[in-house]
Amino acid sequence: MKFISIFIGIISFFPTSFAFGQGFDRGKLILYGTGGLGLGNNSGRIEKSVENTNFPNYLALNSPYTDNLTIFSNFYALNAMVKDRTELSSRLGELGFEYGLFRYFGIGFSVSNQIITASHFRAIDERQIIIYSLTALDNTTLLSRLNQGDFYDFAVQKRRDVLNSTSGDLSLFFHFLPNDPFDPYIRVGGGSGFERLFGGTTNRVFGALGVRYHINDLFFINAEIEHANVYMVKYEAPNSGHRNKGNYEESFFKFGLGLSFTLHGQTNPEIESKPVNVLESVGSEVPPQQTKEPVVETKLERFVFLASEIFDLPSSRIHLEGRARLDAISRSLENEYKDYDVQVITYTTPFKEDVPGNYDNYDLGFERSQAISRVLREKGVNSRRIIDSTQGSAMYNVDSKEKVVIELRKKNK
């Protein structure tokens, strides 16, 4: 519930930014940090070792010198008192980066730290209790001293980490929806590190399914389910204390935040600047309209692109280079063209060529025009300055190439 509350709070803090986020793409550098809790499926010899060495009086319970009633009473009494000793919990933290090698694939490196904690771990080495009990002269005293040692250990037991493993990991990412604010992905990887409490080298392998939601071009939130296995190699047992050897396997739910940067150089579009009237910008196919109203002459300047320079054809999704171009235009609009209005005109390729009046792609033209407007508004251009329009597929048929025209209009003073 805590993670859900944080997620809702972030959404509330950015009420309008979710429409303008930009997802993963080639050339993107992603910095992220996550933290998570284990889902409780601890396994392997680490847990078994904790159960064996942390359970009280385990030698006396199997002793041939005690009767069945004593074994029964001791087992259930002590087991009820220290039943939480073998409960393990885990947590994980990770810091890393990812670079977009291709449109769908990325490679990354991260540093992770996994910790296993026993809620009630014995504070006294069990060998000390055994040595104390073996000094008894009879079996009754021996069992009594074992019980005394366990009861004392129960009184001073404490929460304790039984594994603290840090590793450097290499990850491979596959993204299902590149260049989209909603970014589901899978990743696999592995790495090597060390166990910080008792020594020893560790190897780590993992797989994860996650999703990122890009709040805007810079920030995103991240949720992920990861299954990992850490196992010990080149282990040297300590002289005393808990001997931690084997493997640790766990699933984690992770939540985090991150930053997204574009490493590609931004492309500054060439501006076509010349006096032209509205009819010339639309095309010769538009018949001149007769009007008695005087036509107010305007001075027009235009940014002209092929549609492939802005969109992932044939969709209305703006790709990474297209966003860089629109970002450059928005800076120009906020600096040297502050007094200009903006009209976005899109031309689309007809489905049926040479058929007069074909408007099959008219809706697509408006979708592209509105997508451009959203990016400009996100970059700070006032929405009152922007007009969305399209000429559909009927007004443009030169080599069946699709275009995007952004006209800047300013009345002569």
- Residues 176-230 have pLDDT tens digits of 988 888 999 999 999 999 888 877 788 999 999 999 999 888 899 999 999 998 8
| pLDDT at res. 356 | 53
Dist. CA 405–CA 96, nearest whole Å: 41
| pLDDT at res. 288 | 46
> How does 273-289 read in b/e, with b if 16+ C-beta sit within 10 Å?
eeeeeeeebbeeeeeee
Q: Where do you find CATH 2.40.160.20 in the chain?
A: 15-262
pTM of the model: 0.55
pLDDT beneath 50, residues of the chain? 1-4, 6-8, 10-20, 44-45, 59, 265-298, 352, 354-355, 358, 394-400
Q: What would the two tokens of residue 214 be?
A: 């890009």
| pLDDT at res. 68 | 64
| pLDDT at res. 167 | 94
Is the distance from CB of 115 to CB of 163 less than 8 angstroms? Answer: yes
Q: What is the pLDDT of residues 245-259, one digit of tens each?
A: 667 788 899 999 999
| pLDDT at res. 267 | 40
Q: Which residues face 387 on adjacent strands?
A: 343
What is the assigned CATH class of domain 15-262? mainly beta
| Second-level CATH architecture of 271-411 | 2-Layer Sandwich (3.30)
| pLDDT at res. 392 | 59
Q: Where do you find CATH 3.30.1330.60 in the chain?
A: 271-411
Dist. CA 383–CA 374, nearest whole Å: 9
| pLDDT at res. 368 | 85
Pairing relation of β-strands 247-262 and 158-175?
A: unpaired
| pLDDT at res. 320 | 83
